[in-house]
């Protein structure tokens, strides 16, 4: 095995269920309580490095787990959620009311229809893939934890499983859900999803 990657979506944050994107929102009280359970679920893994998105909700999830493992968190901009532009911070209901044509086109043509003022999906995907390749290459024969966002996790899982981008939303990602991917020289094997 080249590298074992444990991907975790951050804990429950303020405004959960909205298109948070680059909004820097904190965890809720319930989200902070979820971290003890996450640390227990991670305890069997020999984690040697911890990476996190630089956004607050990911860092507030990663930092307490890092303390349990006696490690420092390496924050990476490349692990941020997609920038949703004018949709950022809005619920789907608000989006369909304010941007009915764009919402309809986006839902029908995802990932090809761009959100107004947002990061283009292909740019987001390439950013995430570049960052993950760097992390995997830097951690040969090690187990590493990456705390990030649902969109990032979905892209990585879809890549490992050969799932087309248009089907990303078929991959559920709960707050603090654990995903395990073993990277070998020529393939990736998913051992756990949303655990």
Query: Which residues have a catalytic role annotated?
Result: 10, 81
167 forms beta bridges with none
User: Which residues, 6 or more positions from 46, have their beta carbon under 8 angstroms from its beta carbon?
Assistant: 143
User: Which residues, 6 or more positions from 99, have their beta carbon under 8 angstroms from its beta carbon?
Assistant: 86, 87, 116
- Distance CA(69)–CA(79), nearest Å, equals 21
Q: What is the Rg, in whole angstroms, of the alpha carbon atoms belonging to the chain?
A: 16
Task: Could you list the beta-strand ranges (E) of 10-164.
Answer: 47-53, 73-76, 142-148
- Distance CA(195)–CA(81), nearest Å, equals 21
Q: How far lies 66's CA from each of 14, 53, 59, 91, 146, in Å?
A: 22, 14, 10, 32, 11
């Amino acid at each position: 095995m080249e590298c074992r990657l444990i991907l975790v979506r951050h804990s429950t944050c303020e405004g959960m269920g909205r298109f948070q994107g680059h909004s820097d929102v904190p965890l809720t009280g319930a989200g902070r309580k979820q971290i003890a359970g996450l640390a227990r679920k991670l305890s069997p893994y020999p984690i040697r490095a911890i990476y996190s998105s630089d956004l607050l909700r990911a860092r507030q999830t990663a930092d307490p787990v890092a303390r349990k493992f006696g490690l420092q968190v390496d924050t990476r901009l490349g692990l941020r959620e997609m920038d949703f532009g004018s949709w950022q911070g809005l619920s789907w209901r608000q989006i369909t009311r304010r941007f009915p044509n764009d919402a309809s086109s986006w839902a029908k043509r995802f990932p090809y229809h761009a959100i107004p003022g947002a990061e283009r999906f292909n740019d987001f995907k390439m950013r995430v893939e570049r960052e993950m390749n760097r992390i995997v290459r830097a951690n040969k024969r090690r187990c590493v934890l990456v705390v990030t966002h649902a969109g990032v996790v979905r892209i990585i899982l879809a890549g490992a499983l050969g799932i087309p981008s248009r089907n990303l939303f078929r991959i559920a990602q709960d707050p603090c859900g654990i995903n395990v991917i073993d990277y070998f020289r020529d393939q990736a094997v998913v051992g756990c999803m949303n655990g």
